[in-house]
Structure 1
């Protein structure tokens, strides 16, 4: 990372709720958008589902891109050490493919980012408005809009470094909001680009209870392997975290990292559902 160009990113942090409360709920949504790339082509998931429908239906974890990238050099090294030419060539092909994919992403423009992730920022603003109109005693709420999530969650990592001392894991929950304009609202089970780690059970239970209070069904069972969310830096710091997202019929966010990620392609009903669930989670967090 030190060898790559650097620019300044900005986090926006708003303090709301009860400032003297013993419990803290951090709602976080990134406001940056991603570059596009052929690996994000919206036809890939439907094609995979057509080619291997049973396997696709069984698999609820998206492709772990980090594991694929690491496997190239690992296979090449193993093949060289063992003297197995086929293994070495397979590693070289994967490594070169990874480099080509990254180069393709680097040369493409940034997508509009309506679903990923301005829908989540809209939820933050809606919750801020409700807290101003209807203060909720018993819980301190931090509304965090991060930059540079698309470059390995650098904004959230900075937030955690700066505020870790004041975020007691015993009394703090982080809820990441991601791609909330897809077809169905989902409470993800875990994430990880190389090794999937499940989110904290208590954090997931808080969101699930909020959804039940709001009368909104949540898609359960999905795990994120392709990329990461702002929940990950919190998890690594030992802070309980969960992620509220949404997905389309092929278990991926709609128009993900593609030029069609525009306001007219957002499912606004899902965004409203996310607002209702997040608000119910705030009220639940205030319950002793």
Structure 2
């Protein structure tokens, strides 16, 4: 990894809402939708690299990887296995046993997808090239701590499953899909043809719902997640000019978050040993609403909840107490973000997110996620609170 030591003091405060909104506009308005592995996601990385270079940060590590470009494969592939298993029931008891195994595997794969774990069958889907961009800003003195700041560059589709009427049932819906796959496995093993056919029909309806959800266009992603990328760019500028005394900071712009957290898994695959013991802080949709930390994530099923580690919670809470004007507190949120990959793999991690009064991030996976719906003051609050959190740790 490369050190960054060109510490030219910025002439303008890079953490103002106006400065951060300019970065978000360049991504969400000038570039627009940025699907994983598509040319526009690559253009976003080019903008990030060019902006970092203008700050005096010349050494930016690119970490390329292969990825699907939509999460529909993560749900559709298990259903294909399950439906294939149901068809095998016509081949007698060997087919029923094999079909039951496929149905059980399908339920397990759906659970993994809803839990933020690596998908074993990702390579079955058509592949595109995405990448992480990694910057390391070393401490000015003897390092005692390490922090990794995360923000993803890609955007998702406009999804009916995230409408106001349906998003409250996201976890229950995914759990029902898993239940259908598991029930199909059981029905095959016991050889109940009527039940197998009924479950098959229900699964076909489930596949149709997944396909319908995949028909939406990719969104601009101003809040999700140009807002967080903008904050990390502002923080990179600030920290490059004034490094922390005892804390090394990695700033990582991840690719392909929206299709299964592929970027952060790739980061951990290569650098996991170096980052064991680091604090991971994931910024998600911080461009609108009240800044909060996620005290408990539901995941995308009722069987896949996860939580930040106690040390990260204590760090954020100490910062919130020391800076009451930020009004940051912990919330339970229906989310599946990069903290899932970090926590499932045994690392420390916490997510900062902006929440509306209804407890949900604003315009999440909706075509209203446009630059005109960001709040500059929310961007500034997120960036300054993140910096205050780093300073709290650095003072230990």
| Common fold by TM > 0.5 | yes
| TM-score, scaled relative to structure 2 | 0.62
Partner Cα separation in structure 1 for residue 281 and residue 333 of structure 2:
15
Q: Relative to 1, partners in 2 of residues 1:65 and 1:124: Cα closer, same or farther, differing over 3 Å?
A: farther
Is 1:220–2:335 an aligned residue pair?
no
Cα distance in 2, alignment partners of residues 13 and 120 from structure 1: 15
CA RMSD across the alignment: 2.4
> Which shifted more, 157-166 or 100-109?
100-109
Q: List alignment gaps of at least 5 residues for structure 1.
A: 49-55, 57-61
Which structure has the higher relative contact order (CA within 8 Å, separation 6+)?
1
Q: Which residue of 2 aligns with 1:9?
A: 130
1:268 CA displacement: 2.5
Q: Secondary structure at the match of 2:126?
A: coil
C-alpha separation between the residues in 1 aligned to 2:281 and 2:172? 22
Preserved CA contact (<8 Å) 2:333 2:359 = no
Which residue is 1:258 aligned to? Answer: 366
> Are residues 64 and 203 of structure 1, via their aligned partners in 2, closer, same or farther at CA, if it must alter by over 3 Å?
farther
TM-score normalised by L of structure 1: 0.84
Match of residue 31 from structure 1: 153
8 Å CA contact 2:343, 2:349 repeated in 1: yes
CA separation in 2, counterparts of 1:39 and 1:119? 23
Is this contact kept in 2: 1:35–1:257, CA < 8 A?
yes
Q: Shift of the alpha carbon at 1:100?
A: 2.3
Aligned length: 269
- The answer as to whether partners of 2:160 and 2:166 remain within 8 angstroms in 1 is no
Shift of 1:13: 0.7
Shift of 1:207: 1.7
Distance 2:197 2:292 in 1: 40
Partner-residue secondary structure (3-state), 1:144: strand
Partner of 1:74: 182
State which of 137, 149, 156 in structure 1 corresponds to 2:264. Answer: 156
Report the counterpart of residue 315 of structure 2 in structure 1: 206
Partner residue in 2 for 1:231: 339
Distance 2:371 2:348 in 1: 32
Structure 2 residue ranges without an equivalent (≥5): 1-121
Query: Please, which moves more after superposition, 267-276 or 250-259?
Result: 267-276
1:138 Cα deviation from its structure 2 partner: 0.5
Inter-partner Cα distance in structure 1 for 2:205 and 2:379: 36
For the residue of structure 1 that corresponds to 2:364, the secondary structure is coil
Return the structure number with greater helix share. Answer: 2
Deviation at 1:97, TM superposition (A): 4.3
- Contact 1:18/1:136 (CA < 8 Å) preserved in 2? yes
Equivalents in 2 of 1:256, 1:117: separation in Å? 10
